[in-house]
Amino acid sequence: MKSVFISRKLSADSVFNTILKAEGFDVAGESLVDFRPVPFSVVPKTDWIFFYSKKGVEFFMESFNKIATQNELFYVKFGTIGEETAKSLSKYGFTPHFIGSGNPETTASQFINLVQEETVLFPCALNSKHSIEKKIQNRIKCLNLIVYINLPKTDCRMLSQHFLVFTSPLNVEAYFNKHGIQPHQKIVAIGETTAAALRRMGLNEIAISERPTERCLAQKVIGLSN
């Protein structure tokens, strides 16, 4: 049986899990990163809140709900880096006013055309790469709010699956600092930033998903298996 590992915990209704199991794959999902909340007591006044990830949404909303009601966010416009993050935001009752492509370059270019003389707050991880605000900070006012810490796990076991799908540079770091690739394995990256982290680990044969969604990742694995 063909097998695949993805470096994230899969929900019961995961598209990645559903598509690949229907194709006869044995699917395993586990994050190789530890996440810890960073509580906050004040949210800066802002016109926009832009989320980089589902974890950013979850940790922001969990802390915010402890200090205020969601009614206080109805005057704010929301942006997300991609579709998966937008879905996470919708679970809290908010519809994004902007959804990026998942690629930092194109997302920043599209977003800056929409935001004019407004303030944007970026809830993020302590070690965030700030990929969007770095590209737009000279044109608008950007604010950061640290809402969680993400650290590579130190106890990663060696993976033997035929396909290894990595969803962030930190997951790459956590795994390849301890283990290498086996001859039968093929590597898939969720995007160019993760692919760059894999190249820094000395890996060059990398398949990159066209979009950072579970559906596209699953389709990339199926394409490689044929």
pLDDT tens for 90-108 read 999 999 999 999 888 899 9
pLDDT tens for 68-77 read 888 889 899 9
Query: Final residue of a domain: which of 96, 126, 151?
Result: 151
Same-domain check for residues 24 and 53: no
Q: What is the dihedral of CA 16, 18, 24, 26, to 10 degrees?
A: 60
State phi, psi for 3 to the nearest 5 degrees.
-130, 150
pLDDT tens for 120-173 read 999 999 988 888 988 898 888 999 999 999 999 999 999 999 999 999 999 999
The Cα angle at residue 55 between residues 210 and 41, in degrees rounded to 5: 145
pLDDT tens for 9-60 read 998 889 999 999 999 999 999 999 999 999 999 999 999 999 999 999 999 9
Same-domain check for residues 174 and 143: no
> Strand pairing partners for 46?
none
The residue segments making up the domain with residue 104 are 35-151
Same-domain check for residues 142 and 168: no
Q: What is the CATH number of the domain that holds 114?
A: 3.40.50.10090
**Residue 20 near residue 220, CB atoms below 8 Å:** no
Place of tokens 């394995």: 185
Query: Final residue of a domain: which of 151, 169, 198?
Result: 151
Query: Final residue of a domain: which of 125, 151, 177?
Result: 151
Same-domain check for residues 69 and 123: yes
Same-domain check for residues 102 and 21: no
Query: What are the Cα distances from residue 161, in Å, to 11, 99, 164, 184?
Result: 20, 33, 7, 9
Report the pLDDT value the prediction gives residue 116, as an integer from 0 to 100.
Answer: 83
Same-domain check for residues 144 and 216: no
Report the pLDDT value the prediction gives residue 34, as an integer from 0 to 100.
Answer: 94
Same-domain check for residues 78 and 104: yes
Domain count of the fold of the chain: 2
pLDDT tens for 170-212 read 999 999 999 999 999 999 999 998 999 999 999 999 999 999 9
Report the pLDDT value the prediction gives residue 70, as an integer from 0 to 100.
Answer: 85
